[in-house]
Each structure stands twice: as structure tokens, then as C-alpha cells.
Amino acid sequence: PTLYLHDAAVSAPDAADAGFASVPGREGRLDLGAVLALLAGRGINEVHTEAGAVLSGALLKAGLVDELLLYQAPILLGEQGRPLLDGMDITRMDQQRRLRVVDQRQVGADLRLLLRA
């Protein structure tokens, strides 16, 4: 079933085919730790997230990711290109997050990497 999560400040609309749950907000965004705790409380122990740079970066920064599936196209973008991860605040090499390659394979022209912390 579909579950829509929202900040406590938002009222949930009525929908017969979906559930709604309120989670605390933090700095104008949902508290990701609270989201995962709510899902765990409902027996959901695996979450797959297809996300952009902001949510991906926030999940990694909060330490809420144990596995990353990354598709890398053989394309280079300049400094104006969208980042893979936003908000990680990594400015020096000694702040890097080291990941372990569990699997790698070619999918068409792209490289598919399964990475774990």
C-alpha cells in the first residue's frame, strides 16, 4: 500500500487507497531518522530510494545508507553540472567517505556499481 509521509504542520487529505502518517520536521524538511523509525515500526526493514542530489546527500550525511547502487555514465560535466550528492560538506580529502565495491558491471555504455560503507 502507498504511504504518504508529511510534516505535522500539513493536514493529510482523505484517500481510500493510501495511508498517511505524520513525522517531525527539521529545518523545513522531514526528519529522515524519524521517517526510517516510523517505517521500521511498521515492519519495513528495507527501503529503496531513487533520489536526486539533495535527498541522497542528506541520507548519506545522516549515516542512514548502508548500500549505494550507482550508475555512472561515461560523461564529464563541468563545475556547473548537478552534483551526485549535495550537502555532504566535504571540502578536503581527509573528509572523504570510503566505500567498498561489492559488485561492478557494465550496463550498455554505463557502469553499475554496488557500494557498501
Can you give the pTM of this predicted structure?
Answer: 0.82
The verdict on 61 and 108 lying in the same domain is yes
Instruction: Tell me the average pLDDT across 59-64.
Output: 93
The verdict on 43 and 54 lying in the same domain is no
The verdict on 31 and 86 lying in the same domain is no
The verdict on 54 and 108 lying in the same domain is yes
pLDDT in tens, 10-45: 666 666 778 888 999 888 899 999 999 999 999 999
By 3-state DSSP, what share of the chain in percent is helix, strand and coil, each rounded to 5?
20, 30, 50
| Interatomic CA distance for residues 85 and 97, integer angstroms | 12
**Dihedral of CA 50/104/74/68: which sign?**
positive
pLDDT in tens, 68-92: 999 999 999 998 988 889 999 899 9
Q: How far is CA 88 from the centre of its chain?
A: 12
Phi, psi of 4 (to 5 degrees): -100, 130
Give the structural domain span for 79: 49-117
| Interatomic CA distance for residues 58 and 32, integer angstroms | 8
Q: Torsion angle of alpha carbons 56, 58, 83, 89, nearest 10°?
A: -150
- Asked if 68 contacts 51 with a C-beta cutoff of 8 angstroms, the reply is no
**CATH number, domain with residue 69:** 3.40.430.10
